[in-house]
Structures are given as C-alpha cells and as structure tokens.
Structure 1
Amino acid sequence: MLSRLRRRLLAVATAAGLAGTLLTFGASPPADAAGSAVPATIPLKITNNSSRGEAVHIYNLGTSLTTGQQGWADANGTFHAWPAGGNPPTPAPDASIPGPAAGQTKTIRIPKLSGRIYFSYGQKLDFRLTTGGLVQPAVQNPSDPNRNILFNWSEYTLNDAGIWLNSTQVDMFSAPYTVGVQRGDGSVISAGKLKAGGYNAVFNALRAQSGWGGLIQTRPDGTVLRALSPLYGLETGALPASVLNDYINRVWQKYATSTLTVTPFGDQPNTKYFGRVSGNVMNFTNGSGAVVTSFQKPDASSVFGCHRLLDAPNDLVRGPISRTLCAGFNRSTLLSNPNQPDPSAANFYKDPVTNHYARIIHDRMADGKAYAFAFDDVGNHESLVHDGNPAQAQLTLDPLN
C-alpha cells in the first residue's frame, strides 16, 4: 500500500520575488486492484456549511495518474495539463470552479489524480507557473499574493485501487472542513471534523500557550486567517530555534545509557531496530548487531518538518526508522516509552516541551485524529479516509466558530 498519502513532497522554489513552493506530487498508492471497477472519474459532493456569505472558489490540482502530467481538472473531471511556465513565474490559467453558496451543495467530478482540492473564500487564489511546474501559495512569506485570502486544501489520490482523501494541517490550520467517502453500500466514512467550537478553540489555545501565539496570522483588519505550522513558525521567527532543545537533549542523554527499540511496521512485529547514542550520534543496529543507519542530534526544524537530520527516504530501513523518530519527537513519547512507536494517543504530548500546535489540534478534533505533522500517520492517528470502490467523495466546508 501507500506510505500514506500525506508526505513531505514539496520543494521550495523562489523566483523573482515570488517566494512560493513548487507543487509536486509523489508516488501514489499502487494500482493493486487489477480489474478494479473504479471509473475514470467519480463525483465529489461539496457542501457549504460555513455560514459565510462570500463566494467559494474550488480548484482540483495535481498529477494525472494516466499521463504523469501536472495540471488541473475542471468541474466535469477533464484533465488539463499546465502550459509551460517562466522565470519569473507566469500566471497559471484560471482553474477555479465556482463553489456552492452557503447552505448549498454542488457536485463536480474528480479524475484519477494525486493532488489537492483547494477552496478559497471571497477571492480567487493566485497560482503561478515556473519552469519546474506550479508554484503554490506560501503564506509564511508576507509578500505572497495569497497571504490575506482565507483558504485551505485537502489532499487525495484516486486510482484503480480506490480513493485516499485526507484533511491536513501539516502546513497550516485554517478554514475547517470535513472529508468523506460514500461507499458502494451507501454508508459514509469521514474524517477531519472539529468539535463544536473547535475552530476558535484552536486559536485561543495557541494564544494561551506561552510563546506559540505568534503562529497565528491575521488580515490587516484583525480577521484571523490561519495558524502556521511550527516549521513555518521557525522560518518566520514566530518560534525560537531552541524551542525543542531541552527535550531533544534529554532524549540524547537517555539513550546514551539505554536502548531505544523501534518496531516500524505494525504487521512485522519481529522487525526491530535498536538505537544507542555514541559520540552525539544515534546509531541503529539490526538483530545481528550491524549498524543499519545513524542520526545526528536533530534540531527543531528537523523534528517539525520530519526532514533534514530526520530525512525519511522511501526505503525499508532508514525511512521507517526516521518516521518513527519524527513521530516520537513531535508527540514527546521518546522519554516515557523506550519502545516506539507508542500506540496510545493517551500518552502523547505529555511533556511540557512538545509540539503544542499538534497537541492543540488533535485535542479539538471530534475523533482526535489529524494530520498535524508530516508523519502523523505513524500508528494511524491521521485524518484519512479510504475506500476501494467509492461511490462518491465528499468535502464539507464547516463553520468558522
């Protein structure tokens, strides 16, 4: 199956004053259901329960699993490849689809893509094309043209094996929504719904957590737009680079004299790796005692981004170990449990030094599940729905309260 839908697939692109993110889409779940009845397109039912009066604009952007091209899909599910971009980036074609008014629904069709469904309130998003592809909004940059637009996105892959659809807060927490899939038998599974009042509760909790309120972005008139992820908080100076140092140092001290056992695959309980710190490096050995990979002591950026010193290649050893370490650092379970991953959400975020952004978001989710950092899927704590034979996908825009 997939290494889960949400991955750190985005490479930074900066061109001619437009600091954005080059939108690329990585490997999708394999088409492992030969002869699947999944059609070329399926319906996406969009319901606007936001109670907001502004016009809603929808975008379906991604990589065609048929041709491998990057592009966009219109309301009928027809795929259009992007034209060539430029340097400086050139405006992308208007890929927007008019969304439903408040209290209304609209059904469009989505093709077999690995991509994103964006939605914005009141104003269309500004997408550009560079020579390497699409540049997505990068609101951590104060000069980004989308900085003062209220918007968000969901991620999905639809292929012959079905649909994977998630809600994500990996980059930011903003306009709330719920994703769902109607199965062939008529039942519906959903994810990403906040508790009643959960939207404002997230911002209030961030303000109440000393040092974390700076993640919140507002319009010049004071309207709250979003909270940046801690990774972007580091990049913008909203969080100090030392924010996780105390916890990281304690972890490195602990495993200089004891062993961290990582069992990265839930269906392979006998595959274990053993970590010990020596010379400020955590070396992992296999059951035969051979060193299989090593990690330098990470910094906060490596932890929050699950990258750099915690890089996770798509292999069968370092990547799975790194994913487990990343989850343990963000959830602050590495000191309390020497056997990782810790399966119980009741044990997460208990240390005073932790990813408070992730803690606060998970706490306000109706089912406790979210994608608050890149490998929040470790242990299946992510907000994801999947069905092998979907009758319909669903996206519900929820109230901002």
Structure 2
Amino acid sequence: MLRTLGHRVRVMGLALAAALTGSLLAAGTAAPAHAAVPATIPFKITNNSARGDQVYIYNLGTDLATGRQGWADANGTFHPWPAGGNPPTPAPDASIPGPAAGQSTTIRLPKFSGRVYFSYGQKLVFNLTTGGLVQPAVQNPTDPNRNILFNWSEYTLNDSGLWINSTQVDMFSVPYAVGVQRSDGSTATTGRLKPGGYNGFFNSLRGQPGGWANLIQTRSDGTVLRALSPLYGLETGALPANVMDDYINRVWQKYATSTLTVTPFADQPGTKYYGRVSGGVMHFTNSAGAVVTSFQKPDASSVFGCHRLLDAPNDQVRGPISRTLCAGFNRSTLLTNPNQPDTGSGAFYQDNVTNHYARKIHAQMADGKAYAFAFDDVGHHESLVHDGNPRQAYLTLDPLN
C-alpha cells in the first residue's frame, strides 16, 4: 500500500514501488518462478454501479523495466511523465473512457507497480512537480479532487505474476471488487462488500461516538463522497489526538511486567523477539538476549499510520516487529494475546478503544478481507489476489448501496 503523506503534497515519484507494502512487492519478488508472464495482460472493467455518470479510468505508476514514472494507455503502452514544475504544472490527460452502466471495457495492464484510479462524472486533476506526480489528497479541503467521487486499486504485475488489491488505507469510498483469472481458468476475487455494506458502513460510522462520524466527507448537494482514514482524521482535527491513548497506555503498563513475544515470519517459527517496557521504552531482544530494536511509546498517529514511532524499514528485524505491533494496536489484540501476530480475526477490535474505521470496514466485507490500515496484511487479512501466470484481471464497480 502507498504510505500516507498527510497534508504535504503527495508525489508519485521514484519511490512508488518501494512504498508498496509486503503483499504487493515483497511477496512479488519472492514468488517462485512461473511460466513467462506476457508484457501486458487484459484488464476487464465492469460497471455494475447503476450510476449514469461517465466513468474515467487512469493507470498510473512505475514501469518496472526502467523505473520511470508515467501512465499507460488503454493498450498498455507506457508514456513517461514530462518534467514537472514548481509550482506544479498540469499533467497530460491520461484518462481512458470507462464503461457505461451495465457494460464492460477491457484495457491492458503493463508490467507496472501503481494504481488504477476511476472517477465518476468528472476527470481527476493531476499535476506534476519536479519530484513526480501529485496525487489527489482529499483530506486537504482545497484539493481540486475533493468533490469528485473516485477511488483506486493498487497492483503490481511483474515476471512473477500479478498482485492486485482493494484498498481503504487512505479512505473508504465508492465500492469495487478486484479479481484474477488463473491459468486453469478459475477466478479469485476480493474486495466486494456485503449487500447493503456501503450504506451500512457509513451508518455505522455515524453512530460511533468519539469523533469517528467526522471522518465522513460530503458534497454540498449532500452526496456522501468518502470517509477519511483515521490518520487523516487526526491531521484534519476530525479525531482527537488522544483517541488511542488509553489503549496504548494499558499496553505499555502490561509489558512493563510481562513479555510480548513476536514471531514475525510465519515460515520461520523459530525466529522470535521478546518485548519488555523499561524506562518507558519497549526493548526487543532476540533469543540470545541481545537488544535488537526499541520503540518509544507511540501516539495515535504512529498507530494509524504505521509510521513515525512505529516506522517499519524494509529490513529483517525492526520492520517485521513494527508491522506486527502496528497490526496489534489497530486491532486491539496486544492486551489479550502476548504472542503476536494473531492469525484468526475472532478477537480483533474487541476493546472499546480500537481502530473503529478498520473494524467497520472488515465487518462489511463479503469475505472479511480489507486493507483498512497499512499493515492489514499481517496474518493475511488483506483484500489481495495473486496469480503467477494470470490470464486476465478484473475490476468491478459495485453499487453504492
């Protein structure tokens, strides 16, 4: 998933591929070899939204062969972005006409790591800085895309296959599902809401005390556009800065007198790290008793963003431990289970202090899977499909009900 950049200009620069989390890229590079993946694969977009608006499609990202940033047209041909400016300059129109309601359009996906955006009724506004593409940042009330109904999926297609997800890391908005047709003709899909799940999510969020209803953004005509992620809720003042403090404090108190055991790799059960709080800092030791990394007590922003005090570098020690802590804090399982991560979801979000945004999203998913925060893939609870030799990929625009 793309890491959030708050109110700062969000730039899709050279670090895009590295910014995608483990399931999309780390898994991709580690996957076993398969039959040769073609240069492009078909991507069928079906409009089951029942809306009459014109749909616009964008395929933006990193060309994995060259590392260059750009966009792909409907045929999967790569077009590099021209140089940007300061202030930002308008990007070339990369839009592809999408299908009308009840119809489908097939485009080609090239070997990219990036995003497929789709918008209803209006084209999205993209600009270029000297650092790359400026993406929509609707937590900013002056962003030109603030009043447009849109969403996106993230994907990586490389020589090891396709990884494609649905994501709510930045926001929950117009619903869609993604899928892949495997080489044997079978299909795998994820991201679909339960019947009534779209309205069910917003109604549930409206009823959650503590500022959570303030995450919802509407247009002046009353149209519900999206719910911001809790991280953006903190940055915009929709959520109080201390929204997670009570739980965080209880975790720090518990592990001052007991041990938190983290086994970060499912395929390496012998690799364990042991956390204890001393002097207000949680120190993790390895099996030999040596301290391998330490964490200051996080705040709500660190928890919801899986960053700052819970930074997760792409290494083999701190990053995997931090991912596990982040998942445990968002799911509020660190007090009930001293052996992390959890593989079953039955105990998730049971504390009164939790990531209610993530809780409510997962509750409305048909398969229970979602990317409701950056490391929702810990324990494989993410809405991701993969195939090493895909025949075709799918994106289905679902009804807003």
Contact 1:13–1:135 (8 Å) recurs in 2: no
1:23 is matched with which residue? Answer: 12
Report the equivalent of 1:44: 43
Counterpart position of 1:137: 136
Q: Give the corresponding residue for 1:377.
A: 377
Conserved 8 A contact 2:7-2:137: no
Amino acid at match of 2:337: N
- Structure 1 CA distance, aligned partners of 2:309 and 2:220? 37
1:14-163 equivalent positions in 2, closer than 5 A: 14=8, 20-24=9-13, 25-27=16-18, 28=25, 29-30=28-29, 36-163=35-162
Correspondence 1:245-264 to 2 at 5 A: 245-264=245-264
The one-letter code sitting in structure 2 at the alignment partner of 1:377 is D
Aligned residue pair count: 390
Mapping of 1:299-378 within 5 angstroms?
A: 299-378=299-378
- The two structures have a TM-score, normalised by structure 2, of 0.96
CA distance in 2, matches of 1:11, 1:349: 26
Structure 1 residue 292: deviation in Å? 0.2
CA distance in 2, matches of 1:170, 1:217: 16
Shift of 1:344: 1.3
Separation in 1, partners of 2:242, 2:103: 47
- CA distance, structure 2, for counterparts of residue 225 and residue 203 of structure 1: 10
**Hey, what does 2:268 align to over in structure 1?**
268
How has the CA–CA distance of structure 1 residues 34 and 384 changed in structure 2, closer, same or farther, with 3 Å as cutoff?
A: closer
Give 1:45 deviation, angstroms: 0.2
Give the deviation of 1:37 after TM superposition. 1.8
Alignment partner, residue 208 of structure 1: 207
Q: CA deviation at 1:153?
A: 0.1
Task: Note if contact 2:60-2:71 (Cα within 8 Å) is conserved in structure 1.
Answer: yes
Identity percentage over the alignment?
Answer: 79
Deviation at residue 276 of structure 1 after TM alignment: 0.3
- 1-side partners of 2:2 and 2:149: how far apart? 24
The alpha-carbon deviation at position 36 of structure 1 amounts to: 3.5
Measure, in 2, the Cα distance between the counterparts of 1:39 and 1:199: 36
CA deviations 1:189-216 (Å, max 9, x no partner) are 0000000000000000000100210000
Deviation string 1:233-252 (CA, Å, 9 cap, x unpaired) is 00000000000000000000
> Once the 2 structures are TM-superposed, how far is the Cα of residue 13 of structure 1 from its aligned partner?
7.6
The question of 1:290 aligning with 2:281 is answered no
Equivalent-residue separation in structure 2 for 1:31 and 1:311 (angstroms)? 23
Equivalent-residue separation in structure 1 for 2:130 and 2:59 (angstroms): 21
- Deviation of 1:339 (Å): 0.4
Secondary structure, counterpart of 2:17 in structure 1: coil
Alignment map for 1:175-214 (pairs within 5 Å): 175-210=174-209, 211-214=211-214
Classify the secondary structure of the residue corresponding to 1:129: strand
Give, in angstroms, the shift of residue 393 of structure 1. Answer: 0.4
User: CA offset at residue 11 of structure 1?
Assistant: 4.7
Counterpart of 1:395, as a letter, is L
Structure 1 match to 2:22: none
4+ runs deviating over 6 angstroms? none
CA distance in 2, matches of 1:7, 1:78: 23
Alpha-carbon contact 1:41-1:110 (below 8 Å) kept: yes
- 142-151 vs 23-32, greater mean Cα deviation: 23-32
One-letter amino acid matched to 1:48 = N
Are the aligned partners of 1:330 and 1:355 in contact in 2 as well (CA < 8 Å)?
yes
Counterpart for residue 394 of structure 1: 394
Letter in 2 for 1:236: T
Please give the alpha-carbon distance, in whole angstroms, between the structure 2 residues aligned to 1:63 and 1:12. 22
Displacement of 1:128 after TM fit?
Answer: 0.4
Taking the aligned partners of 1:265 and 1:32, their CA distance within structure 2 comes to 15
- Counterpart-to-counterpart distance in 2, 1:35 and 1:102: 36
In structure 2, C-alpha distance between the alignment counterparts of 1:170 and 1:265, rounded to whole Å: 23
Structure 2 distance, partners of 1:42, 1:309, is 40
- Do the aligned residues in 1 keep the contact of 2:59 with 2:117 (CA within 8 Å)? yes
CA distance in 1, matches of 2:109, 2:165: 15
The answer for the alignment partner of 1:3 in structure 2 is none
CA offsets 1:110-146 (integer angstroms, 9 cap, x no match): 1000000000000000000000000000000000000
Give the whole-Å Cα distance in 1 for the aligned partners of 2:6 and 2:227: 20
Structure 2 unmatched runs, 5+: 19-24
TM-score by length of 1: 0.96
Q: Is the 8 A contact 2:7 2:140 kept in 1?
A: no
The one-character-per-residue Cα deviations of 1:68-127 (angstroms, maximum 9, x if unpaired) are 100000000000000000000000000000000000001000100000000000000000
What is the distance in 1 between the residues matched to 2:7 and 2:130? Answer: 10
What 5-or-longer segments of structure 1 have no aligned partner? Answer: 1-5, 15-19
